[in-house]
Amino acid sequence: MARPRSGCALAAWLVAVVSACGSAVQAQDSFDDKTPNTRGPRPVQTSPAPAATTRPPVIAPAEKQAPAVDGGETQDFGVAPTAELRPTAQLHGPTPTTIPGGKVVGTRQLAQWMQGQQGQQGKVLLLHVVGSSTHLPNAIPATPASQGGRFDDPVQNEFGEYLQKATAGDRSRLVVTYCQGVRCWGSYNAALRAIRMGYTNVHWYRGGMEAWQQAGLPLLDASAAHGSRQQPDAPARR
């Protein structure tokens, strides 16, 4: 499939490939070594169209405008960046606009990186670190990495093993973390944890699912793909 170039075409292209994008995102209490599921979850359903009225239809313009891609993701709350993990009890709140040792990626850039990723993992290792079955195409689950704590705690050790397998030991791999939006610290924590392990190409998608959806880009619902399957036992907590 040819890669689109314009913003409008990019959004349409991503919608078209949703059915080909699989994911293992699901409720997750701990890391596991399962490879992502190859069954494609269905797209998130949108609200049904309102009933027709007697009012004349609005004529759409000939040229569609490219979707808005900011979604508030650049909003500056005046919060200073920190190299320390945010406590788990304080993950909801305004976030900084930068992250020490990593980079912030916007919606348009992330969507461009994801073009052509028909498999489970392409050049972007996209980590879903929010407790929701709704997720971006091609994301794999890493929810425990959102926790606060220390850089030598069990979460860090397990996350390190998880990333080692997911990247095949390539610490230059393009890693992107995301959660709900600009008021969610979970993906910030996950990015910090990966950076501390020595990963050199870590990007924090600050806008998260909110910015992605506001840009008119597709989200998937993993619950449809996993609801009928019995989940494997999670590893025992240490």
Q: Which residues pair with 178 in a beta bridge?
A: 128, 205
Q: What angle do CA 56, 61, 63 make, to 5 degrees?
A: 160
Each residue's pLDDT expressed in tens, for the chain with a length of 238 residues: 544 555 555 454 444 434 333 434 444 667 764 434 433 444 554 444 444 444 444 433 433 334 445 669 999 999 999 999 999 999 999 999 999 999 999 999 999 998 765 444 458 999 999 999 999 999 999 999 999 999 999 999 999 999 999 999 999 999 999 999 999 999 999 999 999 999 999 999 999 999 999 999 999 997 765 543 444 344 344 4
Tell me if 225 sits within 8 A of 41, measured CB to CB. Answer: yes
Tell which residue, 141, 113, 108, has the closest CA to residue 214. Answer: 108
Tell which residue, 211, 196, 230, 224, has the closest CA to residue 85. Answer: 196
Kindly write down the DSSP assignment for every residue of 124-192, as one continuous string: EEEEE-SS-SEE-TT-EE-GGGG--S-TTSHHHHHHHHHHHHHHTT-TTSEEEEE-SSTTB-HHHHHHH
Q: What angle do CA 125, 130, 134 make, to 5 degrees?
A: 85
Tell me if 202 sits within 8 A of 177, measured CB to CB. Answer: yes
Count CA within 13 A, CB hemisphere, residue 49. 3
Domains and CATH numbers, the chain: 23-41+68-226 (3.40.250.10)
Q: How far apart are the C-alpha atoms of 216 and 44, rounded to whole Å?
A: 12
Count CA within 13 A, CB hemisphere, residue 162. 24
Tell which residue, 137, 203, 207, has the closest CA to residue 173. Answer: 203
Q: How far apart are the C-alpha atoms of 27 and 65, rounded to whole Å?
A: 37
